[in-house]
Amino acid sequence: MPSAPSVSVSITGSGLFTPPASITNAELAASLTVSVEKWNADHAVDIAAGTVGARELPDETFIEKASGIASRYVMEKSGVLDPDRMRPILPLRSEDELGVQAEMSMPAILDALVQAGRRSSDVDAVIVGCSNLQRAYPAVAIEVQNALGAGGWAFDMNVACSSATFSIQNAVDALRNGTASCVVVVNPEITSGHNNFELRDHHFIFGDACTALVLERTDDALNDGSGNNGRWEILGTKLATQFSNNIRNDFGFLNESEDGERDPHDVVFRQNGQSVFKEVCPLVVKHITAHLTEVGVDAADVRRFWLHQANLKMNQLIAKGVLGRIPDGDEAPVILDEYANTSSAGSVIAFHKHRSDLRSGDRGVICSFGAGYSVGSIVVQRASG
Ligand code: COA
């Protein structure tokens, strides 16, 4: 049982950047159909000889039925839908320009800072947590820190889809041990850069977005909780990892040095979706249940579950496992229908969009899960205004 936290920490602001371009399942399936037909024609001899397998055609109705996803936002649409390209077109920027991940971070952070009643210069720590970083170094977080005119320190971290909750834990630790006083956690997810748009099993899964949170010691907060979106005291954080190869992406700086050829589909996202579904649901139910027990909160007293947004049925099963009954949409809000899986940003988008109706004293759980496997949960309570 963890000891009671000595210093209270609150989420004092949240923000969201949604890219302007959206892609429907029908658009995605249409472009993949052209790509698959062309690929199969180009490889007809090998397919007939049985040395390679034909690629399967996608079906737009399968996507929504299997996952709950109807559309996704992307940073750049034309390249993703171009059957000869199947990845976004992101122009190379000079070192003097703001990088694309830092750029998408800014509106989300500024949105969160307004709610917190803080200026950029008040920030003294920036943690960028996301599934894929555009370069090895300098850290995107340091670029963001510079663009904000913030002080203190900054670093990048990656725990795949759990990067937001793992970043929150780092922010809480820094605030409790006094190494920072106003921490920004930001999740600039350009999933379209590492999604596999060439295979029907994966092409529909992800979408792009960026979320940001401001965290402060409750005693220092300028946000008194009376605003529409409240202030959220953190009652507890809990992280867990358990190794699995079922979600994997082997892109990395050793690719060029590896002795042997890699399948290009190994250096983008891949997963065994059914195994993930079967193994992760019970893991998450057990995790949230244990966490609620540790912080002394009954599951029946949790007003809302802001869950990672990968699959609608998965979230229904997890909420049912924790509550012992089928949740309604109000208890476990869904954003994946519109956003798809935005990796680490998903649970925070759900929190950002579905929190203003909760009342003072209401409790909720932000929970992310994904590759690693990794699970992170944050139990919060709306502060009195
Ligand atoms: N269009 C048409 N058919 C498709 C398709 C598409 N876009 N995508 C997959 N299929 C096919 C498969 O190829 C398979 O065909 P087969 O039976 O001929 O081999 C069939 O549909 C069933 O595929 P399967 O992968 O078993 O479907 P599923 O019901 O498990 O749904 C997911 C797939 C990905 C939606 C689901 O497994 C899932 O969401 N899992 C959890 C993923 C997760 O949380 N990941 C975390 C990532 S951060």
Measured N-to-C along each axis, helices 345-353 and 163-177 cross at an angle, to the nearest 10 degrees, of 80
Q: How far is the CA of 63 from the centre of ligand 1 (A)?
A: 8
Domains of the chain: 232-382 (3.40.47.10)
Query: What is the average per-residue pLDDT within 121-141?
Result: 97
Query: What is the average per-residue pLDDT within 194-216?
Result: 97
Please work out whether the CB of residue 284 comes within 6 Å of at least one atom of ligand 1. no
Query: What is the average per-residue pLDDT within 224-229?
Result: 92
Enzyme catalytic residues: 161
pLDDT in tens, 67-95: 999 999 999 999 999 999 999 999 999 99
Residue nearest to atom 32 of ligand 1 (CA): 273
Please work out whether the CB of residue 370 comes within 6 Å of at least one atom of ligand 1. yes
CA angle (317, 207, 187) in 5-degree steps: 90
Residue nearest to atom 11 of ligand 1 (CA): 201
Q: Give, for ligand 1, the residue of 69, 279, 311, 314 to mutate: max count of ligand atoms closer than 8 Å to Cβ.
A: 311
pTM, to two decimals: 0.96
Residue nearest to atom 9 of ligand 1 (CA): 201
Cα–Cα distance, 55 to 167 (Å, whole number): 38
pLDDT in tens, 89-113: 999 999 999 999 999 999 999 999 9
Please work out whether the CB of residue 271 comes within 6 Å of at least one atom of ligand 1. yes
CA distances for 314 relative to 24, 301, 311, angstroms: 22, 22, 5
Q: How far is the CA of 275 from the centre of ligand 1 (A)?
A: 10
Cα–Cα distance, 171 to 182 (Å, whole number): 9
